[in-house]
Amino acid sequence: MDTTALLQKIYRCYREKRLAEAVSLLTDDFQFKTQLPDDADDATRPRSRAELTLLVHKFFEEYDILALDPAIIIVGDDGVASARLNSTFRHRKSGKAIQTTFLHDWRFVDGKACELQQRHDNEGWQAFLGSLEERA
C-alpha cells in the first residue's frame, strides 16, 4: 500500500471510530508529538502508541466526529507525508461543536506509521473547553 493510501486508511479508521484497526497501522514504538490543551508547560512532548490509544478512546467517548477530512496530502521526497485536515467535532454532553484544522507530518517505516507530529489551534481548543466548563 502506498503512503497516501495508508494515510487515507488511517484517517478513515479514525473517522469511523475503528480505533483497533487504526492502531494496527502504527508501529509498536510509534510516537505522537503534539501540545494538548491540558499540557501545563506549553511544550510538545512525545506520547507512545498506548498513550495515544487512551487519548483517542476518551475523545471518542466525549465527541461525535462530524467531519475529519484530509483536504491535502503531500508526500515529500524525504518520505514525510504532510496532511491538512478540516475537522468538526460535537461535544456529546453539551451539543456544542468546534471546527478546527490539524496539520500533520507523518513518518512511515515498513508499511506502518512510526511518528505523527501534530499542530493545531491549541488556544482555540482551550477556549472551546473553557466554554464547556462555563455551561457545567
Number of domains in the chain: 1
**Prediction pTM value:** 0.88
Q: Binning pLDDT at 50, 70 and 90, where does residue 133 land?
A: confident
Instruction: Give 13-45 pLDDT, tens digit per residue.
Output: 999 999 999 999 999 999 999 887 776 666 677
The domain spanning residue 41 has which CATH number? 3.10.450.50
Return the percentage of the chain with pLDDT > 90, whole number: 74
| Mean pLDDT, residues 108-115 | 94
* Phi, psi (degrees; rounded to nearest 5) at 120: -160, 175
How confident is the model at residue 46, as a pLDDT? 87
Of 74, 73, 81, give the one whose Cα is nearest residue 114: 81
Instruction: Give 86-104 pLDDT, tens digit per residue.
Output: 999 999 999 999 999 999 9
Can you tell me the distance from the alpha carbon of 8 to that of 131, in angstroms, rounded to the nearest whole number? 32
pLDDT of 136 strictly over 60: no
Across the chain, mean pLDDT equals: 91
Q: Which residues span the domain enclosing 19?
A: 3-135
Instruction: Look up cell 491549541; give the residue.
Output: 122
Task: Give bridge partners of residue 97 from the DSSP assignment.
Answer: 90
Other Cβ atoms within 10 Å of 124 Cβ, number: 14
How confident is the model at residue 71, as a pLDDT? 87
Task: Return the higher-pLDDT residue of 71 and 84.
Answer: 84
